[in-house]
Structure 1
Amino acid sequence: MKTEKSKITIHMVSSLDGFIAKKDGSVSWMHSKDTYEKGIELTKEYIAKFLKSIDCYIMGSKTYEHAVELGWPYGNVPVFVLTKRNMKSNRKNVQFLSGDLAEIVSNTLKPKYNNIWMVGGSMLTKEFLRLGLADEINISIIPTLLGNGKLFFDFIGREILLHLKDTTSFKDGMVELEYEIKKE
């Protein structure tokens, strides 16, 4: 049941040079083999506690297809997939939507969910930012330079000011940056 103001967080895993996938769409590089002794251990308990705080996910159809291929990390949490394609899922928690993004956010997501996570991809990220629909950006940076591929922030077209809320370093070398999007 909704009890507080809704918050939409854009989340993405990125290489240090800002790519979310290789040119061929591969994300096999996303698991760091680095070691950083001062970092936090990314345990199953840590991940479970974090995931419990998310009320629903919203993503594009390509991200959805990657999630299905990689083993579906979203459990039974509601997932909204934005697509113009005719797609189906055997999962009861997945709903496919199309139409005006601002209306979907205002009429479908915000009235029902508090902690909404937009998890990909770059085109959807661009629209959320362009329309001013997101409240926060959470980037998990893997210690890898890809050199080329699919950009996370793909030419948004306007300047957006951010406020650093927190940083977390993990033992595998991944760094998480949490930003609040300053509203103009």
Structure 2
Amino acid sequence: MKKVILNLAVSLDGFIEGTNGEIDWCIMDDDMNFNAFIESIDTMFYGRVSYDAWGNYQPDENTSPAEKTMWNGIHSKNKFVFSHHDKRDQNATFVTSGITDKVAELKQQGGKDIWLYGGANLIKTFINLGLIDIYKISVHPVVLGSGKPLFEDLKGRIGLKLINTNIFKSGVVELTYESE
């Protein structure tokens, strides 16, 4: 069965973005091998705001070949946008109700895992509904002081089991947890 994976960068103080939505503090090291993660999935889950910003993003001509390859990999995936508003989009399927049923249906299909890309509201919904199988959290060596926290308004405790750690040359520490 497919797994829903939250793969996300957080600051040392637990924020996923700064006060103004900035993510310029995120580090992408070669040794992180993010392309291997992209290859391990065939489906992406977006909230509407994140999809509008990144779902069809095209890097400019000055972008490095490695980043262009990453974006090509991301855009080759099946995309589902969870939103209150239905929209016609040739690159994504919009889901406006029945989140739990739709996720269960997609997990039963063959293929690779699913990346819960975000945004913050969708992540919060998935956490509170218990729909995340793997938490792959990359803690970046920066303290933001304020912003959008990863865990807020939780409905209850979440039991997790640490299954892997990676330390990268930049000082980023990737923690991978399985839901219990």
Normalised-by-shorter TM-score class: 0.7 to 0.9
Contact kept in structure 2, 1:102 and 1:133, CA below 8 Å: yes
Structure 1, 62-71 or 170-179: larger mean CA deviation: 62-71
Where is the helix percentage greater, Structure 1 or Structure 2?
A: 2
CA contact (8 A) 2:83 2:96 kept: yes
Aligned residue in 1 for 2:12: 16
Matched residues in 1 for 2:58 and 2:26: separation? 12
Identity %: 30
Equivalenced residue count is 167
1:7 paired with 2:3, answer yes
Shift of 1:110: 3.2
Q: Secondary structure at the match of 2:109?
A: coil
Aligned to 1:42: 30
Tell me how far 1:113 sits from its aligned partner. 4.3
Structure-2-length-normalised TM-score: 0.81
Alignment partners' CA distance in 2, 1:6 and 1:14: 25
**TM-score where L is the length of structure 1:** 0.80
Give the corresponding residue for 1:36.
none
Structure 2 equivalent of residue 54 of structure 1 = 41
Residues 121, 152 of structure 1: 8 Å contact kept:
no
Aligned match of 1:35? none
Note the residue ranges of structure 1 that are not aligned, 5 or more in a row: 33-40
Q: Distance in 2 between matches of 1:107 and 1:161?
A: 24
| Selected match of 1:97 from 95, 98, 109 | 95
Q: Which of the numbers 161, 164, 178 marks the counterpart of 2:162?
A: 164
Q: Spell out, residue by residue over 1:3-26, the C-alpha distance to the aligned partner (whole angstroms, 9 max, x if none).
A: xx2211122111111111112112
